[in-house]
Structure 1
Amino acid sequence: MASQDQRLLKESLDLVAPVADQLIAAFYQRLFTEHPEVRSMFPAAMETQRERLLNAVIALVTHFDQPENLLPALNSMGRRHELYGVSLGHYAAVGSALLATLQEFAGAAWSPAYEAAWARAYTFAAGTMMQAGALSGVEEEEPLAA
């Protein structure tokens, strides 16, 4: 299933790659509009944050069939997010906003198979981060590398 999901993730990411920067900006706009309570958890200047998210998404897609390559960075990010006060509800809000934004930007090419693959990928990433956050013990954040 992971290799099929990775193929679907790559295909769908390729659909939106030409407008990836706009997609990430639209994701944050959607997140902050639908959940204004999370805006204060982010920096005023979002350029670096948008770049980090884009890199994390690319890494998730690139390494989804080899989760062991993702675990160190996801665990580190999960511990960091715990410090920021990120809750289960916040993870759900991010997942919902991400999938809705991907669907919006992919347009008619979006499919239920893409939706399911992204839901599984996000559930894996968020679940790993939440588990690490619950265990806490913060160390330096390790960025996801594509």
Structure 2
Amino acid sequence: MPDETTIEAVRQSCAGIPTGSPLLAESFYAHLFEMRPELRSMFAADLGPQERRMADALLQVVRHLDRPDELSDYLRQLGAQHQRKLGVEPEHYPHIGRALVRAVRDISPTWSTSTSSSWVTVYEWITAVMVAGAEEGAEPQRSGVGRVTHGTGGTHREPPRP
């Protein structure tokens, strides 16, 4: 888990990003697809909804970094969901991390070398938890994890909000 100084640096780098802003996600996906164009096929043609979900989830994670137990549960479920729905594999995470750091750099007025190091530390922790969740998600579903909804697309397990 990142220390308090690292968490504060990450939070400061996102302080000016309003909830619902597409700037971070647009920059993230531009960098990701520039590095790994073949990953574009994992997503719908209209990235708008995915961009909003990604930006909102990331800002939620940043806000709750000081609550690692709650955040770990959420990230594990998110990792399992990304693996199941999008086909995200462990080898994708280094590219995702680089794209994320570049995206935050693009939009953060407080960016510095130490901010970059803080983001790398936080992202490595996030990745470890999400990959563990994806591995757990590959096992048969356990009861009591998340919220189950039923709809026209079948049963869906949603992660709790931190």
2:96 aligned partner: 94
How many residues were matched structurally?
A: 144
CA shift, 1:85, in A, is 2.4
Residue identity matched to 1:76 = Q
Q: How far off is 1:72 after superposition?
A: 2.1
Give the 3-state SS of the residue equivalent to 1:76 in structure 2. helix
More strand as a share of residues: 2
Q: Which runs of 5+ in 1 are unaligned?
A: none
**Structure with larger RCO (C-alpha < 8 A, sep 6+):** 1
Q: Say whether the 8 Å CA contact 1:2–1:64 is kept in structure 2.
A: no
Question: Which residue of 96, 107, 131 corresponds with 1:105?
Answer: 107
Pairwise CA distance, 1:48: 1.5
Contact 2:19 2:59 in 1 (8 A): no
Larger radius of gyration: 2
Provide the residue aligned with 2:145 in structure 1. none
In the alignment, is residue 140 of structure 1 matched against residue 157 of structure 2? Answer: yes
TM-score, with length taken from structure 2: 0.78
Q: Which residue is 1:7 aligned to?
A: 8
The Cα RMSD (Å) is 2.2
Q: 1:128 to 1:18 in 2, by over 3 A?
A: closer
Stretch moving more, 35-44 or 20-29: 20-29
Letter in 2 for 1:32: F
Matched with 2:147 is none
Instruction: Give the SS at the match of 1:86.
Output: coil
What code does the residue aligned with 1:98 have?
Answer: L
- Offset at residue 73 of structure 1 (A): 1.6
Q: Which residue of 2 aligns with 1:61?
A: 62
Is the 1:99–1:115 contact (alpha carbons within 8 Å) kept by the matching residues of 2? yes
Contact 1:55 1:144 in 2 (8 A): no
Q: Counterparts of 1:119 and 1:12 in 2: how far apart (Å)?
A: 13
- Name structure 2 gaps, 5 residues minimum: 142-155
Q: Deviations over 1:59-100 (max 9, x none)?
A: 111111211121222111111222232222211111001101
CA separation of 1:19 and 1:47: change in aligned 2, threshold 3 A: closer
Secondary structure of the residue aligned to 1:45 is coil
TM-score normalised per structure 1: 0.85
The sequence identity of aligned pairs, in percent, is: 26
1:81 equivalent in structure 2? 82
